[in-house]
Amino acid sequence: MTQFLGIGIGAGLVSALLFGVLLKATALAILLYLLAPLPILIVGLGWSHRAALVAAVTGALALAVVVQPFLGLGFFAYLALPAWWLAYLALLGRASADGTMEWYPTGRLLAWTAGTAGLAFVAIAVIAAPNYETFQSQLRGMTRTLIQVRADRAANPGAPVPKPAAPETGAEAPAEPGPQDPAETTRTEVANALAAIAPGLATHGLTVLLTFYLWAAARIVRISGRLLRPWPDLAATMMPRRVLGVLAGAMLVGLAPGYLGVLGVAVAGALSAAFAMQGLAAFHDRSRGRPGRLALLFGLYLILFFTQGVALLALTLFGIADTALDRRRPRDAAGRP
Q: Write down the domain spans for the chain.
A: 120-154+182-205+232-329
Mean pLDDT computed over every residue of the chain: 85
Contact between 280 and 315 under an 8 Å Cβ cutoff? The reply is yes
Beta-carbon-side half-sphere exposure of residue 20 (alpha carbons within 13 Å): 19
Query: What confidence category does residue 276 fall into, taking pLDDT thresholds of 50, 70 and 90?
Result: very high
Supply the pLDDT for residue 177. 47
- Closest listed residue to residue 213, CA positions, set 83, 88, 118, 116: 83
Query: What confidence category does residue 174 fall into, taking pLDDT thresholds of 50, 70 and 90?
Result: very low
Query: What confidence category does residue 127 fall into, taking pLDDT thresholds of 50, 70 and 90?
Result: very high
Phi, psi (rounded to 5 degrees) for 96 = -85, 180
Q: Region 204-223: what's the mean pLDDT? A: 95
Supply the pLDDT for residue 154. 59
Query: What confidence category does residue 261 fall into, taking pLDDT thresholds of 50, 70 and 90?
Result: very high
- In DSSP terms, 93 is beta-bridged to 103
**Length of the chain (residues):** 337
Query: What confidence category does residue 14 fall into, taking pLDDT thresholds of 50, 70 and 90?
Result: very high
Count other Cβ atoms within 10 Å, centred on residue 82: 27
Supply the pLDDT for residue 145. 80
